[in-house]
Amino acid sequence: MLKLEPMSKVRIIAAKAQTERLVGALYSFGGVEVRQTVSERQERPAEEFGEISRELVRLRALAERLAVKGGKIRKATLAEALEEARQIPAQEFENLFAQAAKARQEAERAGSRASELEPFKGLNVKQETLRNGLLSFHYAKPRKTAKDVEAAFAKARVPFQAQQAGEYFLYAFPKAREAQAKPILEAQTTGALGIPQANASFKSELAEARALQASALRDLEQAGEKIAALKRKHAARLADSIKALELHSRKAQLPSRFAASDFAVTVEGWVPSKNFGKLEKAVAEATAGKTVVEKVATKEHPPSVLDNPKAIRPFEFLVRFFSLPSEHELDPTIFISMTFPVFFGMILGDVGYGLCAVLLALFLRSKFKKGFYRDVSGMMLLSGLSTTAFGFVYTEFFGFNNIFGYHWTPLIHRLEAEGLAELMALVIFIGMLHLALGFIIGAVTAYREKEWKHAVAKTSWLFAEIGLIAFLASSAGITFFELIVQFTAFAPGWFWGALGVIGMAGIAATEGAVALMELPGLFSNLFSYLRIMALGVSAVILALIIDKIPLQPSLEPMGLLSFILFAAFFVLAHIGALMLGLFESSIQSLRLHYVEFFSKFYRGGGIAFNPLSREMEGEV
């Protein structure tokens, strides 16, 4: 629980003819991590790897085009997986994709042609006229009025003809007078359009383009429907086939991690020490004893495997999220599982909110059997129970000062001066113990690593923390140190002062006098725990504000309507307050662990254990 799972490095030597059976045995066993074995010569992937890769490329490309994801991991032989994959009509899909692409191109081309012809649909001019080489044409809208354009042509004595087509006019004039006409048209017209080529009237060609576009869109829709129907029929098989072939692909690639010679292969990896015998037996049975399985002495850092009871296993997520412990470090999961819910509950501290958190956790547990949300549900369940317990301590139920209609005297009243002082003293006392626990773990870790100087340093920091805080508490008479005074009253103040001085001397001797400059930071860490009180008070004030919403039932229509609206707002406001409380309580509790607590002992940097069983599940 505190210690990491003991790990052993293993080496397996097998006859080359046993490679396939060895791979099968390793994957069947699952609980071994196979590392790349360093050698001048590496074994090649299995012969079937090429065929698997080609099939995977084909299926993945199809899945990407169809937006198919997921898939279930099914146990199937390679032959069964390949046969299942070949039943997916990839060529039929490709033909439909090609039809859809062709129809899309035709629709876009026809649509572009229709857009080009649209402004000319009202123009009734023969195409032969537009191809007259003696005339120039200009199709545009007058800037002001058509008469202004006519007047400008008349003033310049340039002969012209104009035909209106909606907002546009077609101006025709002799090509020989283009030099005089062009400035007039630039000044008097706007939105000029190039006249498109056409074999018939613009109106008829526009109708033809629209008909072609509609036909292409129908073809595109039909192709899409066929693709969708085919996808519904084969999507699950496609996703499952990809999963199955990916597993066989990993198995086929596994030999490339082996060292090879002409007659043998060697594979190295890591396995939990307690499972070494099972691995040895599994390999021996699969290869008829034609292998050697041995433990290897090494200075390499083993993978870090957390080993905790099921009840607190969800909190391993918080450790992995920060960093796995290294080889000689203690696993902090057990400590987080105790203190995280306590901090969470002290902040939120409401029976109503706590019960809601418990119900939400139970709902998540019913929906998710593993993974992130399963871990979250486990942490939320304990945190919700803690919130409920502290709700009874504070006597708060959705902000009200009674629980299920019963008025209880709170042990700590968070909105009264006396209660705030008690809560502040409790928070500071818990903070001191939490930091002290961090220093103790740091000293134990250093002792396990045989870093004696570092162990003395951590012990000195522990003495300095407890001694200085207890001395200050006993001599200063400050309110928020009252609880510390009660628990340190068995010794006089000078004793705690001497303990603090001894601690500072030890710090100076092991880490240098400069390290004493970090003592103010120690007190800063301690006072950071006051955020538990501050956030808790803000949470209850928010709940009280929501409780001020007037809820007065009435039989009058307007009174009933206002009651329904206010009741809905009341419920939604409390849901929002609950979500905010869950978020803030989680973040701030986590911060106290990652910043204040972990900084006293935790380095992390451990290497994750990636056994073949996890590769089989597609987690790597």
Listed by start position, the domains of the chain span 7-88+229-295, 125-200
Q: What pLDDT sits at residue 620?
A: 42
- Look at residue 519 and tell me whether its pLDDT is greater than 60: yes
Cβ burial of 408 (10 Å; 0-12, 13-18, 19+) is: exposed
- Look at residue 305 and tell me whether its pLDDT is greater than 50: yes
> CB neighbours of 349 closer than 8 A, spacing ≥ 6?
387, 390, 391, 393, 394, 396, 414, 536, 539, 540
Concatenated DSSP letters for 329-380?
SPPTHHHHHHHHHHHHHHHH--HHHHHHHHHHHHHHHHH-SSSHHHHHHHHH
**DSSP single-letter state for residue 497:** H
Taking the C-alpha atoms of residue 360 and residue 582, their distance in angstroms, rounded to an integer, is 11
To the nearest whole percent, how much of the chain has pLDDT over 70?
Answer: 95
Residue whose tokens read 């042509």: 153
Model confidence band, residue 388 (pLDDT cutoffs 50, 70, 90): very high
CB neighbourhood size of 595 (10 A): 11
Taking the C-alpha atoms of residue 482 and residue 496, their distance in angstroms, rounded to an integer, is 15
Taking the C-alpha atoms of residue 196 and residue 519, their distance in angstroms, rounded to an integer, is 84
Model confidence band, residue 28 (pLDDT cutoffs 50, 70, 90): confident
CB 54 within 8 A of CB 331: no
* Nearest Cα to Cα of residue 177 among 201, 160, 195, 200: 160
Lowest mean per-residue pLDDT among 12-26, 36-50, 150-164, 416-430 = 36-50
**DSSP single-letter state for residue 515:** G
Q: What pLDDT sits at residue 586?
A: 94
Strand pairing of 291-295 and 264-272?
unpaired
**DSSP single-letter state for residue 71:** -
Taking the C-alpha atoms of residue 68 and residue 511, their distance in angstroms, rounded to an integer, is 59
How far out from the chain centre does Cα 106 lie? 42
The predicted-structure confidence for 364-386, as pLDDT tens digits, reads as follows 999 998 889 999 999 999 999 99
The predicted-structure confidence for 467-503, as pLDDT tens digits, reads as follows 999 998 888 777 667 888 888 888 888 899 999 999 9
* Nearest Cα to Cα of residue 77 among 238, 216, 245: 245
Kindly state the average pLDDT of the residues 259-274: 91
CB neighbourhood size of 591 (10 A): 14
Kindly state the average pLDDT of the residues 413-429: 88
**Fold category of 125-200 in CATH:** Alpha-Beta Plaits (3.30.70)
CB 539 within 8 A of CB 348: yes
Taking the C-alpha atoms of residue 504 and residue 331, their distance in angstroms, rounded to an integer, is 28
Model confidence band, residue 322 (pLDDT cutoffs 50, 70, 90): very high
Q: What pLDDT sits at residue 556?
A: 58
CB 1 within 8 A of CB 331: yes
Lowest mean per-residue pLDDT among 8-12, 65-69, 220-224, 278-282 = 65-69
Q: What pLDDT sits at residue 561?
A: 64
Model confidence band, residue 324 (pLDDT cutoffs 50, 70, 90): very high
* Nearest Cα to Cα of residue 349 among 584, 545, 597, 548: 584
CB 451 within 8 A of CB 395: no
Q: What are phi and psi of 328, to 5 degrees?
A: -100, 0
Lowest mean per-residue pLDDT among 207-211, 237-241, 331-335, 561-565 = 561-565
Alpha-carbon dihedral sign for residues 421, 424, 429, 430: positive
Alpha-carbon dihedral sign for residues 482, 488, 490, 496: negative
Taking the C-alpha atoms of residue 516 and residue 514, their distance in angstroms, rounded to an integer, is 5
The 3-state secondary structure of 371-437, one letter per residue: CHHHHHHHHHHHHHHHHHHHHHHHCCECCECCECCECCCCCCCCCCHHHHHHHHHHHHHHHHHHHHH
Kindly state the average pLDDT of the residues 589-597: 95
> CB neighbours of 200 closer than 8 A, spacing ≥ 6?
127
Mean pLDDT of the chain: 88
CB neighbourhood size of 475 (10 A): 14
Cβ burial of 428 (10 Å; 0-12, 13-18, 19+) is: buried
To the nearest whole percent, how much of the chain has pLDDT over 90?
Answer: 44
Residues 78-100: b if buried by 16+ CB within 10 A, e if exposed: beebbebbeebebeebeebeebb
Please, what is the Cα angle at 208 between 205 and 214, to 5 degrees? 145
Task: From residue 502, give the alpha-carbon distance in Å to each of 463, 506, 517.
Answer: 7, 6, 16
